[in-house]
């Protein structure tokens, strides 16, 4: 039996079995690490955004990126990613000829990562990542990509419908727009994406409004 150093808890010594206190301390340390990661890396930029409008960082899988770009194939004009995270979707859009390609992101750490990825790919200065709140920018012309939590989709739908031109296409990932009928969809589960042509969405919304007045 090795008592170890004075003041050293038995669960912290190499080879020691974790008891109840050890498990509790380990859980507390893990929780503190998760909170620290959120506070330092993910929280910046969210402080002034209401909870229901926050779009947390959820990196797209390679399949989801491929599905999104497949639904934008053949499109022309600017491609904008609302909440671009580490920039993977914007970077791939530029590679496939969707130009200019632009990403809006509030988190400064993710912006640094996105710019680093663009630089490493040889596209520095050709792709733009801007530190802006997607709720405070005017939606640009062209095609758009929107991801994030389901509760953010209804107010985002209102914003996009008010600002985008008729020839724009919106591709949503993870969650569809609940009040819009998609023009097409691709993939399954978390990789599923939905495409919406704004001209058709406007026609649908106006039709519902006219029916409600009858």
pLDDT(155) > 60? yes
Which tens digits make up the pLDDT trace of 14-26?
A: 555 555 565 555 5
- Residue 84 has φ and ψ, to the nearest 5°, of -80, -5
| Nearest 10 degrees: Cα torsion 184, 167, 163, 118 | 80
Would you state the pLDDT for residue 25? 53
If we measure between CA atoms, which residue out of 59, 66, 9, 82 comes closest to residue 193?
Answer: 66
Residue 76 banded pLDDT, cuts 50, 70, 90: confident
Domain ranges of the chain: 62-213
CATH superfamily placement of domain 62-213:
Vaccinia Virus protein VP39 (3.40.50.150)
Would you state the pLDDT for residue 140? 60
- Count the residues in the chain: 214
pTM summary value = 0.71
Positions of E strands within 66-206: 79-82, 101-104, 128-130, 143-146, 169-173, 184-186, 193-197
């Amino acid at each position: 039996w090795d008592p170890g150093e004075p003041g050293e808890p038995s669960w912290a010594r190499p080879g020691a079995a974790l008891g109840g206190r050890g498990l509790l301390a380990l859980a507390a340390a893990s929780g503190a690490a998760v909170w620290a990661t959120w506070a330092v890396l993910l929280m910046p930029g969210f402080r002034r955004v209401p909870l229901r409008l926050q779009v947390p960082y959820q990196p797209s899988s390679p399949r989801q990126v491929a599905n999104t770009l497949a639904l934008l194939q053949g499109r022309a004009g600017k491609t904008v990613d609302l909440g671009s995270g580490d920039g993977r979707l914007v970077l791939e859009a530029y590679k496939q000829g969707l130009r200019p390609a632009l990403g809006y992101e509030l988190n400064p750490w993710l912006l640094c990562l996105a710019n680093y990825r663009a630089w490493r790919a040889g596209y520095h200065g050709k792709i733009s990542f801007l530190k802006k709140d997607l709720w405070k920018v005017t939606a640009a012309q062209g095609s758009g990509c929107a991801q994030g939590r389901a509760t953010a989709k209804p107010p985002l739908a209102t914003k996009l419908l008010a600002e985008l031109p008729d020839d724009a296409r919106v591709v949503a990932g993870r969650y569809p727009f609940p009040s819009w009928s998609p023009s097409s969809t691709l993939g399954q589960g978390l990789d599923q994406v939905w495409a919406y042509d704004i001209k058709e969405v406007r026609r649908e919304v106006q039709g519902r409004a006219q029916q409600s007045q009858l």
